[in-house]
Amino acid sequence: MGVLMGLSRGAYPHDRLGLCNVVTVTRGAGICILAGLIFVPHALIGLGWLLVVLAGLTLALDGLDGWLARRSGLRSDFGARFDVESDVAFALVLALLAWQADKVGLWFVALGLLRPAFLAASMVWPALRAPLPDAYWRKAMAAMQMSVQVALLAPLVQPPVSGLIAGALLLAMVLSFAVDIRWLLGQKGQRQ
């Protein structure tokens, strides 16, 4: 729905949707299927490795859409935003699945709420709305985050190990956001 709204408002500068956005929509479908499983936690036990495969395939599509956009000349702010917001939904769904599968406590859902919390904070502190410079480490952190979240769903990963891994991941991501927030607030001081 958001994709159609973005396209209808002229946010997409190309005359065709392109395979890159079709891949992102397909990834969105995978995220929706996984999200549906949150509401049937008893089914998670029976899915075992199938859950990991579905989540892994959904994750694999994340790298493909950007590559296709660059290769086909269809890069856009719309596509980048579409990709980021899909990542946010995926992270939240994976966190909820890990909780429902009894791999972690409810506290782990905070991982999926970091970006929404950052966006909410930007409404209070306008300095947080400034664009961040492209950084390879930020993309690597996002890929690592989702990869670890998928791995947490594996039947072999059980508490207390899953909790330790999840705690380390949450700490790493909080620190990553803190680095960006500090940079943005520092930029505000330089602009004044």
* pLDDT the model gives residue 143: 95
Using left for φ > 0, alpha for ψ between -120 and 50, and beta otherwise, residue 159 falls in beta
User: Helix, strand or coil for residue 9?
Assistant: coil
Distance in angstroms between the alpha carbons of the first and the last residue of the chain: 40
Are 149 and 91 a contacting pair, CB within 8 Å?
A: yes
Rounded to whole angstroms, how far apart are CA atoms 155 and 49? 7
Please give the pLDDT value at position 21: 87
Query: CA 182, 186, 189, 191 torsion: positive or negative?
Result: negative
Q: 10: alpha, beta or left, given left = phi > 0 and alpha = psi -120 to 50?
A: left
Which residues, in sequence order, are CB contacts of 30 under 8 Å at separation 6+?
54, 55, 57, 58, 61
Cα 62 → chain centroid: 9
Task: Please report which residue ranges of the chain form alpha helices under DSSP H.
Answer: 2-8, 18-37, 41-47, 49-72, 77-100, 114-124, 136-152, 161-191
pLDDT one digit per residue (tens) for the chain, 192 residues: 455 444 445 566 777 778 988 999 999 999 999 999 999 988 888 999 999 999 999 999 998 988 998 998 888 888 888 899 999 999 999 999 999 999 999 999 999 999 999 999 999 999 999 999 989 999 999 999 999 999 999 999 999 999 999 999 999 999 999 999 999 999 866 665
pLDDT value at position 66?
A: 87
Please state whether the predicted TM-score (pTM) of the whole model is above 0.95. no
The span from the CA of 20 to the CA of 112, in Å, is: 24
Q: Which CATH number fits domain 2-191: 1.20.120, 1.20.140, 1.10.10, 1.10.3470?
A: 1.20.120
Question: Residue 5 has what pLDDT?
Answer: 47
pLDDT, residue 179, reads 97
